[in-house]
Amino acid sequence: MPDLLKVAKFGGTSMADYHAMKRCAGIVGSDPDKKVIVVSATAGTTNLLTEFIAESDKERRLDIARRIRFKHLELCNLIQDKFSPQKKILGLLDELEQIAVRTQLMTSMLRDDILSFGERLSSELFTAVLSEQTGKDAHCFDVREIMRTDNNFGSAEPVIEDIARLTEEKLLPFLDHKCIVTQGFIGSDSHGFTTTLGRGGSDYSAALLAEALDADVLEIWTDVTAIYTTDPRIAEGVKPITEISFDEAAELSVFGAKVLHPATMVPAIRKNIRVYVGSSIEPDKPGTWIVKETKDHPVIRAVSLRRNQTLLTVHSLDMLHRFGFLARLFTLLADHKISVDLVTTSEVSVALTLDSDMNTPGKQKLTDEVLVELRSFCEVEIERDLALIALIGNRLDTTAGLSGPVFGALKEINVRLICHGASTHNLCFLVSEKEAEKVVQRLHKTFIES
Ligand code: ADP
Ligand code: ASP
Ligand code: MG
């Protein structure tokens, strides 16, 4: 077992092409402590596989499979013959084309199997580039041997105890003499069927492996130099965050900052593993450290935006001076595996927000069946095309004078719901999707730029 162990994750843009992979190999090569490397599919490949899955026409599916073939063979051909994984890559590409031809009925199990090709291809390629560029003894390890999940295909839940046991049995023995490259995003259920953790799930995979290995550091290498005070695609004047606490980073990711998958911080917090976020394009630029305790505790550290929100409002006169209504409502939602984010209640109504993101099929459940059940005991209203905005920081529940500037920035904006006071680290509200970016820009100007 090495003295210091780092798990490093490289995202899709970091795996974009041979040159991007070479840069990542340089980052791994310069640090002997980076022993476990978790990779995403090459940029755009998971989107292509999603198109493949949605396509019912065999010829068009084959066309997509051929685009994936071209892209990966082009990359493979740049690797020196001595290291080339061509045979394995061709095997995977042939298998994908056979699925394109043979599939009659798309099932959720088959969907996850198809989605896994992206990471299975990129990990073979990166293992070869790493060996070629650094002379390291790199080994491509199939993470499905250890990343045990339930069988909720599309949005599988990891089984932490099994992952710990399997990692110790099957992965740990390699670490004394090899550098391991493995796949993010994918896992397998107890029958060995391939599962996926949901879009963007490679960050979560890396955190789960860091937890199972008791790693000292988890590194997330991506296409931005650091975590910024808001998404740099939305506001000008964003500032890199040097240090942020576990709790703030967890809230930031849950409330939409795509730079970290929402569940990433959970294993890191459980095992107190420090997380570093840096750029694989400019690795020397300072990144962000996510730690248990930060030196500073600003009231507002960042602003985040989570799109595709649905507001569900239920009314019932039964709520008036009665008990049990909320329990009944939340039991129904829990039975249908509907995850609720914000909740506000009044005497006769409850308003709650849900993700309407179609990319996380396991979480999208406001089906007709749910609505019929809800309508059997209350009136229901649904509003879509909303966005959730969160101010993230410290002592937000007890800091005086915050609401003035917040409401000043929200002037003329129709705020559909506000949640304040439940968390010391966030103040959240819901606005229409159309106005969301403007609101983020205004809040960023008010609290961070000025
Ligand atoms: P990867 O492919 O490496 O996983 P992602 O695209 O999933 O990368 O995440 C990186 C992106 O997250 C950035 O390009 C940026 O646009 C977005 N992002 C959203 N919020 C933030 C933030 N607060 N700080 C940095 N990046 C953010
Ligand atoms: N390749 C997967 C996706 O694009 C997982 C990831 O990149 O984190 O969603
Ligand atoms: Mg990502």
Which CATH number characterizes residue 40's domain?
Answer: 3.40.1160.10
Residue nearest to atom 6 of ligand 2 (CA): 200
Q: Give me the residue label for tokens 């909740």.
A: 343
User: Do residues 10 and 152 share a domain?
Assistant: yes
Residue-wise pLDDT tens digits, 210-236:
999 999 999 999 999 999 999 999 999
Mutational pocket test of ligand 2: of 42, 147, 202, the residue with most ligand atoms within 8 Å of the beta carbon: 202
Cα 63 from Cα 74, distance rounded (Å): 17
Q: Does ligand 2 lie within 6 Å of residue 199's CB atom?
A: yes
Answer whether residue 262 is part of any domain: no
Which are the contacts of 354, defined by CB distance < 8 A and separation ≥ 6? 309, 310, 312, 338, 339, 340, 341, 366
Does the CA dihedral 441-228-122-264 come out positive or negative? negative
Answer whether residue 236 is part of any domain: no
| H-assigned helices in 144-184 | 160-166
pLDDT at 290: 98
Answer whether residue 286 is part of any domain: no
Q: Does ligand 2 lie within 6 Å of residue 229's CB atom?
A: no
CA of 228 to the centre of ligand 1 (A): 9
Burial of 42 (0-12, 13-18, 19+ CB in 10 A): buried
Total number of domains constituting the chain = 2
Q: Does ligand 1 lie within 6 Å of residue 194's CB atom?
A: no
User: Do residues 333 and 202 share a domain?
Assistant: no
CA of 115 to the centre of ligand 2 (A): 9
Answer whether residue 274 is part of any domain: no
**% helix / strand / coil in the chain, to the nearest 5?**
40, 25, 35
Answer whether residue 241 is part of any domain: no
Does the CA dihedral 318-321-326-328 come out positive or negative? negative
Residue-wise pLDDT tens digits, 32-44:
999 999 999 999 9
- Residue 176 neighbours by CB distance under 10 Å: 9
Q: What angle do CA 441, 442, 444 make, to 5 degrees?
A: 65
Mutational pocket test of ligand 2: of 40, 123, 209, the residue with most ligand atoms within 8 Å of the beta carbon: 40
* E-only strand ranges, 14-141: 34-39, 138-141
Give the range of the structural domain holding residue 138, as residue numbers without chain letter. Answer: 5-223
Answer whether residue 374 is part of any domain: yes
Q: Does ligand 1 lie within 6 Å of residue 307's CB atom?
A: no
Residue-wise pLDDT tens digits, 139-187:
999 999 999 999 999 999 999 999 999 999 999 999 988 999 999 999 9
User: Do residues 210 and 336 share a domain?
Assistant: no
Compute the half-sphere exposure of residue 304: CA atoms within 13 Å on the CB side of its CA: 24
Phi, psi of 77 (to 5 degrees): -65, -15
Q: Does ligand 2 lie within 6 Å of residue 40's CB atom?
A: yes
pLDDT at 356: 79
Name beta bridge partners: 288: 277
Answer whether residue 237 is part of any domain: no
End-to-end CA distance of the chain: 49
Amino acid in position 148:
R
Joined together, the tokens standing for residue 412 give: 């003329």
Q: Does ligand 1 lie within 6 Å of residue 184's CB atom?
A: no
Helix (H) / strand (E) element for 271: namely helix 265-271
pLDDT at 317: 78
Residue-wise pLDDT tens digits, 407-446:
999 989 999 999 988 889 999 999 999 999 999 999 999 9
Question: Which of 223, 257, 286 finishes a domain?
Answer: 223
Residues around ligand 3, an ion, CB closer than 5 A: 11, 200
pLDDT at 357: 60
CA of 40 to the centre of ligand 3 (A): 8
User: Do residues 147 and 42 share a domain?
Assistant: yes
User: Do residues 309 and 218 share a domain?
Assistant: no
Answer whether residue 407 is part of any domain: yes
Question: Which of 168, 192, 223 finishes a domain?
Answer: 223
pLDDT averaged over 10-residue windows placed end to end, the chain, 450 residues: 86 98 97 95 98 96 98 98 97 98 95 98 98 96 98 96 98 93 98 97 98 98 98 96 98 95 97 98 97 96 96 84 83 89 88 75 69 92 95 93 90 91 91 96 94
- Residue 356 neighbours by CB distance under 10 Å: 18
Cα 305 from Cα 143, distance rounded (Å): 32
Amino acid in position 301:
R
Q: What is the CATH number of the domain that holds 403?
A: 3.30.2130.10
Among 406, 420, 229, 394, CA closest to 298:
394
User: Do residues 74 and 206 share a domain?
Assistant: yes
User: Do residues 349 and 435 share a domain?
Assistant: yes
Question: Which of 176, 205, 223 finishes a domain?
Answer: 223
